[in-house]
Structure 1
Amino acid sequence: MLLAEIVDAVAEVSATRSRRAKVDALADLLGRTPPAQIETVVGLLTAQPRQGRLGVGWRSLQALRPTHAAASALDVADVDTAFSALAATSGSGSAARRTALLDDLAARATAPEWDLVTRIVRGELRTGALEGVLVDALARSSGQPLDRVRRAAMLVGDLGETARIALTDPGALASVGLRVGRPVLPMLAATAESVTAALTDGRAASVEYKLDGARIQVHRGGDDVRVFTRSLADVTARVPEIVAAVRTLPAGRLILDGETLALDEDGGPRAFQDTMARFGAESGDIVLRPWFFDVLHVDGRDLLDEPLSVRQAELERVAGAFRVPARVTTDAAEGEEFARAALAAGHEGVMVKALDAPYAAGRRGDTWRKVKPVHTFDLVVLAVERGSGRRAGWLSNIHLGALDPAGQYGPAGGFVMVGKTFKGMTDEILRWQSETFPALATDDDGYVLTLSPVTAVEVAIDGVQRSPRYPAGLALRFARVKRYRPDKRAADADTIGTLRAMLPGRADVAVSG
């Protein structure tokens, strides 16, 4: 298959807001894909190459000055081969070898093809070709029931492999099941403003601590224990303490869903980045502890379709010492009290889960709801980046600054950078930024416009964390734009001191049941 066919399909998907039109375009593409290239094509459509990380950063791509091909001749297999070579390149001289590989690929691609390739490498395709749309397209193309395709995708945990099965051996879809050792897509949660709002339907619910850790899925088959991340990456070698803990459990075959969280000397939760730093390394002084909130399989018995009440009973039996603190209730006041206890213990908030609901792997539904505080601040726009992909031609990602009245990190009364975001921006906001910010630019390096710090913007965040990347030693967590504030002066922005006061310190209450 020519890469140009994917370029055309992506352009068609990007040009419409209609889900049906997106599904039609992708179903047509999948129907024309050679069997040997199905997994590769799905990886390209989702900006998740089958090779994983390629070791190529934005600056490496920006530094290239290629002369592109005049006509399309690049095959999907050529791109796949180049990606494999990039992923395998390491050691002394690897930067030069990667540059040579990129130069060759760029020269063989037309300009539209190279634009697609760079967006895939950066993980910034943003075409609307998300997994949900692709699953619908796969059902359409294979002629299989949507529920059957969706369930297979959940249990396989790899949409490319699911597509290969559906399009080459559709009868095998019905026999796809849960398998110890093969990770499944995690169940996801919707949001609720409060525990009271989440309990309005009167159904009994499990209100559970929402830990500020890293999602893990743990599989045990005898002494063989494997640990996977939220994105299904195998990180077993990095977490021997979790492996050892699971080997102590009274069950030979298990699939557990939960979080890992580093604790301080007093048993309280450490800051998120401490957990993530240890989670990303194969050793360290910090010890990770598993906390489980669900079980999907126990000793030959699949529990996906069982209600949460049944799964919790099994979880208590096989992993009670490692359960996330939880309270079953229908009473909003009791749930709110439990949520306050979670916050007092230094955690993010709570999850509210319907007791009668099955485990919907890979899906986000209203049977799981997360409740956590959202903080809003008025900050100042210090710079803006040119957009790419669907946002090409617009000014998109903004750099955010807090007021530094005492001059701790620069001139008194100036601003100190605390993060970036492109989240929450509507087309109207993007258009306004693109029309307004060029007139405020004090410098332009071709990618980033440095701006006069005069524009106030209201930003919602989940919190702050320590970060050596920014001068004040902190960074915003999950920042998203609420609205611009023309009614506010930059001098009225929130201060760096206000944000620093939110930095997590030692929790006074340990995690406990």
Structure 2
Amino acid sequence: MEFGEFADTAAEIEELSADSDIIDAVTDLLSSANDDLEVLARFVQGRVFPAWDSTTLDIGPNLCYTAIARAAGQNVSADDVEDRLAEMGDIGAVAASYEFGGQQGLAAFGGGRDELTVAEVATELDALATTEGSGSQDTKIDILFGLFNRTESLEARYLARLVLSEMRIGVGEGTVRDAISAAFDVPVESVQRALQVSNDYGRVARVAESEGEDGLDDLQLEVGRPVQAMLAQAGAVTDALEDWEVAGVEWKFDGARVQLHYDGETVRIFSRNMEDVTDPLPEVVEYAEENLAAPAIVDGEVVAMDDGEPLPFQEVLRRFRRKHDVARAREEVAVELRAFDCLHADGEDLLTAPLVERHDRLQVILSGGVSALTVTGDEDEIADIEANALDAGHEGIMLKNPDSTYSPGRRGKNWRKRKPDVETVDLVVTGAEWGEGRRASFLGTFLLSARTEDGDFETLGKVATGITDEELAELTELLEPHIATQDGQTVEIAPGIVFEVGYEEIQESPTYSSGFALRFPRFLGVRDDKTPESADSLERIERLAEMQ
């Protein structure tokens, strides 16, 4: 398929408002995709790589602006592109406003402008993602320049959005799931299950097309390929017991979620964001190699410990970020695994098994390090477990439906977290302000936003308290590559970094675009394990406001 045809379809979808019409349009796209089916199932969501794959393009806004400017002509600079973005507000519109195709160079794909195909875009973006080492930035710019130089206006619009993960045409995961079902006449339940075990929309689309329902039902978990973690929502003991009569009760650890894969010889560890964090956690690898009795996929938390006492969550994230001198980092901050669920054991998938059965299997295959699970309907016993968890320095307790299956990526009512302290939210940084005086070189006030169903972000407050000078320096270094535009002391930040924020209350407010404002927000830390897509939604903010 020509990339222009995909761009035409994306433009049509963007103009639609009804969910059913969007699903129909995506269904038509997938039905006519042929050899490009797997790529298009990702591109239409704004993804370049499968959901389980932690590979990224590693393209910051400034690098993209440079490539656009070069393709636009000698009289256009990256600053010009940035200025136009400040006026238009959409990098796709900016790219579409230039006339490409007249520039020549090593990556200009020869003399004339031949039609760009979807397969060629996918190949070039894959090459871009694997480019590293000395001179890699220049090579990335060459590749992007070559692509933009072959585009017409509408193609440039969606290429720019795809490169910067800003597609935002109203197509989410549920849309593609339903479109696969409709395009290839397979039950949506089979598509949903296949997506849960494979975490790969392109692969599921291809199997649905070529093998139908039977092929989808044959898909299984694969050790070494991460799936999304099952999530919890806030809840109360009385509500849980009213719904289930008895609850599975566990300590809630102040650590970082991990999914550990062991194929019988090799251990790989993935973060909640499905990033490979095996290398920074050698002691967890060693522990798994010594204590796992069979190939398995294990869900758990990595907790930082000091003489038997848990350390704050941020200490774990310091280990996750460490790429060099891991041995020294290991001496400074020791981490341990607390396993609490088992998705796969010794060749058998356990997603549909009840929680208590999965926990029993976990205890069989893993000798030690398994979180205790107590099934009880006694509120006093649950209160004692919670008190013990808090006395041990942990966050609180988890309440789980003993009969529940494991639902990757779902935040349902079968898992509920109870923390006695103030509720926190995970919000995306979309703006900031430079400080003053001795903090003039640091970003010091941060604009926070919640994601919406269509992939946009709505503001609901600023946070400037709870941050030390040392943290400001680290945050500035972390956020500077994401600066999209700047106007005086105020900067716009491209969505990429998630903050954990505490607050006293959520109020209705016309000040921010969400219609809500955080009262007395306080910075608690950076959620390196979360992407903007997994940050808290505006729907959750609304629900929290109602619960007050």
Q: TM-score interval w.r.t. the shorter chain?
A: 0.7 to 0.9
SS of 2:299's partner is: strand
- Measured against aligned partners, the alpha-carbon deviations of 1:350-391 in whole angstroms (never above 9, x if no partner) come to 3321001111234332212234454589xxxxxxx9xxxxxx
* Equivalence map 1:90-489=2 (5 Å): 90-170=132-212, 171-189=214-232, 191-249=233-291, 251-263=293-305, 265-282=306-323, 283=326, 284-285=329-330, 286-319=333-366, 321-332=368-379, 334-335=381-382, 338-339=385-386, 341-343=388-390, 345-372=392-419, 373-375=421-423, 397-399=430-432, 409=439, 417-423=444-450, 466=471, 468-470=473-475, 476-477=499-500, 483-484=508-509
SS of 1:260's partner is: strand
2:62 equivalent among 59, 64, 68: 59
CA distance in 1, matches of 2:229, 2:196: 8
Match of 1:511 in 2: none
Match of 2:38 in 1: 39
Distance 1:101 1:178, change over 3 A: closer
CA distance in 1, matches of 2:507, 2:385: 29
Distance 1:277 1:167, change over 3 A: farther
Q: Quote how far apart the aligned CAs of 1:144 are.
A: 1.0
CA distance in 1, matches of 2:364, 2:377: 24
- Measured against aligned partners, the alpha-carbon deviations of 1:163-189 in whole angstroms (never above 9, x if no partner) come to 221122324222222343443333233
CA distance in 1, matches of 2:341, 2:118: 40
CA distance in 1, matches of 2:283, 2:191: 36
Letter in 2 for 1:54: L
Q: Quote how far apart the aligned CAs of 1:349 are.
A: 4.2
Distance 1:494 1:30, change over 3 A: closer
Distance 1:34 1:470, change over 3 A: same
CA distance in 1, matches of 2:100, 2:477: 47
Letter in 2 for 1:477: E
SS of 1:200's partner is: helix
Q: Quote how far apart the aligned CAs of 1:478 are.
A: 5.2
Structure 1 residue runs without a partner (length 5+): 378-384, 386-395, 434-456, 487-492, 505-513
Match of 1:21 in 2: 21
- Cα RMSD for the two superposed structures: 4.1
CA distance in 2, matches of 1:130, 1:88: 27
- Measured against aligned partners, the alpha-carbon deviations of 1:39-94 in whole angstroms (never above 9, x if no partner) come to 22222223331282122111112333233348993211221122122123222222
Match of 1:509 in 2: none
| Preserved CA contact (<8 Å) 2:449 2:457 | no
Name the TM-score, length of structure 1 as normaliser.
0.74
| Preserved CA contact (<8 Å) 2:291 2:367 | no
| Preserved CA contact (<8 Å) 1:46 1:130 | yes
- Measured against aligned partners, the alpha-carbon deviations of 1:243-266 in whole angstroms (never above 9, x if no partner) come to 211122252222211122222x23
Match of 2:532 in 1: none
1:10 maps to 2:10: yes
SS of 2:399's partner is: strand
CA distance in 2, matches of 1:483, 1:124: 28
CA distance in 2, matches of 1:355, 1:418: 44
Letter in 2 for 1:329: T
Distance 1:139 1:401, change over 3 A: same
CA distance in 2, matches of 1:235, 1:503: 19
| Preserved CA contact (<8 Å) 2:501 2:525 | no
Letter in 1 for 2:509: Y
CA distance in 2, matches of 1:352, 1:15: 43
Letter in 2 for 1:95: Q
Letter in 2 for 1:39: E
Letter in 2 for 1:268: E
- Measured against aligned partners, the alpha-carbon deviations of 1:14-45 in whole angstroms (never above 9, x if no partner) come to 4444332222121111111123x222222222
| Preserved CA contact (<8 Å) 1:424 1:482 | no
Letter in 2 for 1:47: G
| Preserved CA contact (<8 Å) 1:376 1:458 | no
| Preserved CA contact (<8 Å) 1:374 1:460 | no
Letter in 2 for 1:33: A
| Preserved CA contact (<8 Å) 2:263 2:295 | yes
| Preserved CA contact (<8 Å) 1:4 1:72 | no
- Measured against aligned partners, the alpha-carbon deviations of 1:317-369 in whole angstroms (never above 9, x if no partner) come to 33362123544333445445544554554444433210011112343322122
SS of 2:366's partner is: helix
| Preserved CA contact (<8 Å) 2:447 2:461 | no
CA distance in 1, matches of 2:204, 2:525: 43
CA distance in 1, matches of 2:311, 2:434: 26
| Preserved CA contact (<8 Å) 2:350 2:358 | yes
Letter in 2 for 1:108: R
| Preserved CA contact (<8 Å) 2:294 2:365 | no
| Preserved CA contact (<8 Å) 1:23 1:136 | yes
CA distance in 2, matches of 1:91, 1:360: 39
CA distance in 1, matches of 2:267, 2:201: 24
